[in-house]
Amino acid sequence: MTKESAKLDLACTYMKNNQPISAYNLLMTLAENEMKKEDLKAGILLLLAAECKTLQGKDRNGELLQAAKFYEKVAKKEKPAAAKYAYLCAAKCFLRIGQYDDAMDAFEKAKKYVHHIIEEKKPIVVVDDSPAITLKLNDYLQKLGYKDIHTFADGKSALKSIKKLIQSSQNPIILLDMDLPDIAGDEIAKTLLKLKPNLSIILITADEKTSPRVRKTIGWGSTAFIQKPFTINELKNALDVTISGSIT
């Protein structure tokens, strides 16, 4: 084990033992060293440091902004695949601190790097209690080439099915209505992201993106947002953002 790996392991141990201050200090030292080398690992270390701030009950925006700017800086010097990854990471960091214009700018830069690998379409889980919206989504998804589509009108049934998909090592994309009859969409998102932090969730709501509950749910890790009423192009863009930024 290298010296850096040992320090990272120690920082993770501090976090598990509820010692976020010690973990934060160690992670920031490691991040600064990696930033000098312009290594993409620095961004991950900054995100972990931000999580330490959250564990302390403190604002994490400074670390997230630092990570976003670092990713943007490194993206300009990386090869296409790594540059696209860095810009997408920057976009997600900007999104989590509410800098939507910067997030969109980073995402547009990432789109310039064409992804040539043809991937099998992931399973889609549609959770919406409106039959009209469900039919519309099914129609759009089929036109976009998706075939493995699961639909649910309530949160309880959806949670049960999604958990089974995750347990069977599938990585579904969740299209989640924020207003369900039994469980609020933001609570479903929170539950699922605790189970699988990198799960792809696209929020579907009539709310504005700046509304408190949407911003809160995005902050938990939701990957994209669609506002009702929506077009097939808006759905496609949200799916593109989700697929490009996901880690299986």
Q: What does the pLDDT look like over 138-172, one tens digit per residue?
A: 999 999 989 899 999 998 999 999 998 888 877 88
Q: In this model, does residue 120 exceed pLDDT 50?
A: yes
Q: How confident is the model at residue 203 (pLDDT cuts 50, 70, 90)?
A: confident
Averaged over 202-210, what is the pLDDT?
73
Fold of 3-111: 1.25.40
Averaged over 169-184, what is the pLDDT?
87
Helices (H), 97-199: 100-111, 131-143, 155-167, 185-195
Between residues 114 and 99, which one has the greater pLDDT? Answer: 99
CATH assignment of 124-245?
A: 3.40.50.2300
Distance CA 39, CA 13 (A): 23
Between residues 118 and 155, which one has the greater pLDDT? Answer: 155
What average pLDDT does the structure give for the chain?
A: 85
Quick one: which H or E segment has residue 175?
A: strand 173-177
At residue 239, the pLDDT reads 86
Q: Where are the domains of the chain?
A: 3-111, 124-245
Between residues 244 and 8, which one has the greater pLDDT? Answer: 8
At residue 22, the pLDDT reads 94
CB within 8 Å of 208: residues ≥ 6 apart: 214, 227
Query: Residues 46, 66: contact at Cβ < 8 Å?
Result: yes
Q: How confident is the model at residue 5 (pLDDT cuts 50, 70, 90)?
A: confident
At residue 11, the pLDDT reads 87
Averaged over 71-98, what is the pLDDT?
89
Q: Which of 219, 181, 225, 229 is CA-nearest to residue 202?
A: 225
214-241 per-position pLDDT tens digit: 666 666 555 677 888 889 999 988 888 7
Q: How confident is the model at residue 247 (pLDDT cuts 50, 70, 90)?
A: very low
**% pLDDT > 70, the chain:** 88
Q: In this model, does residue 9 exceed pLDDT 60?
A: yes
